[in-house]
Chain A
Amino acid sequence: MEIPYTTQVRPDTGLYNAKLGIWLFLASEVMLFGGLFSAYVLLRVGSPEGFWPHGWLSVTLGTVNTLILALSAITTLLAWVACKVNDFRQFKLFHGLTLVLALSFLCIKSYEYHDKWIHYEIHLKDGRIADGHLEEQDEKTVTISGRIIPGDQEQLLYDLRAQKSIPRDEIKLDRSNILKMENYGPRHNTFTAIYFTMTGLHALHILGGCVVIGFLWGPGSRMWKTDHARFTNRIEISGLFWHFVDLVWIFLFPVLYLT
């Protein structure tokens, strides 16, 4: 039995079925990300004065990732155009490029996560705070590349914008002097929690997009010969999803990196 309205437009909706489905899905995604953005706003306005982090993320890396996603939006559109004009080689090229760009985005994001994961805030028993990247550790000592600040100047760790060059010394700490040691992971503070939640969910969407794009570029492209119109619609659907993921990043970038 043939599935109806995979290529023809359904008279009552004015859309083919897959397009109606993807728009319903994207509507639910708007609610999901909308809820998280609302949570971000509420957490931020509710944080104590001077204790919301600024300048913790690399604007350069965020900008590079923005450019990567912007380019991938163009390549995914061109892949769809290639389907429309029946040019298989161009389709392979542009859809492959989209996949490469998506994977590049994930690589940069992984680097950023790793940077936070090895960044530690260490409270010492004498009240001072050591902050920096973990270099090495053993049973007795911990070595970081960073700085030590007095305990009553903790706010220095939150707003890094005014601190043009933060001194980075190699500091060897005795474990017996350490009161508490915690990396900049999701549980570190409210900012890292919402940062990892929002960008992590977004990265999962990128990963999901990679799977779909990879399938349509590889084994799924066999449909090009058997049912070209339906395959072209599949590319449009994946392109709509990809554009949505890019749009989410357009909001995430200024909210998390620039404010």
Chain B
Amino acid sequence: MSLKGFHLVFVTLLTALAFLCATWAFTAGHAIFGVAGVASGVLVIVYGVYFLKKLKNVDFL
């Protein structure tokens, strides 16, 4: 697996972590932290999609 592939694995797990943190925060009563977690999760997904799209046009990676 190249660094490109490993980066995608990393982004996937980072997304899972963000939503896990959000779940933990809402359960523990930290609403602001929860909202930040959801926002981070969405942001990482957007980055992941952008990264995947970019890869389609970049053949050297």
Contact = CB atoms under 8 A, between A and B. Distances in A.
B10 A254 contact: no
Given A70-B14, A73-B7, A246-B10, 12 more contacts: A63-B21, A63-B33, A77-B4, A77-B7, A85-B60, A236-B2, A243-B6, A243-B9, A243-B10, A247-B9, A250-B14, A254-B17
Contacts of A246: 10
How many A residues touch the partner, as a band? 20 to 34
Given A81-B61, A84-B61, A243-B10, A254 B21 contact: yes
B20 interface: yes
Nearest to B60: A84
A67 to B, nearest CB: 8
A85 B2 CA distance: 17
Interface of A is mostly: helix
A247 B21 contact: no
Contact of B7 (A161, A243, A253): A243
Contacts, number: 47
B39 to A, nearest CB: 12
Nearest to B7: A77
A131 B29 CA distance: 26
Contacts of B17: 66, 250, 253-254
How many B residues touch the partner, as a band? 20 to 34
Contacts of A254: 17, 20-21, 24
A233 B54 CA distance: 21
Max count, chain A CB within 10 A of own CB: residue among B2, B47, B60: B2
Nearest to B28: A161
Interface string A226-246: 000000000010011001101
A258 B24 contact: yes
A239 B3 contact: yes
Contacts of B21: 63, 254, 258
Contacts of B9: 243, 247
A84 B1 CA distance: 17
A37 to B, nearest CB: 15
A240 B2 CA distance: 8
A188 to B, nearest CB: 25
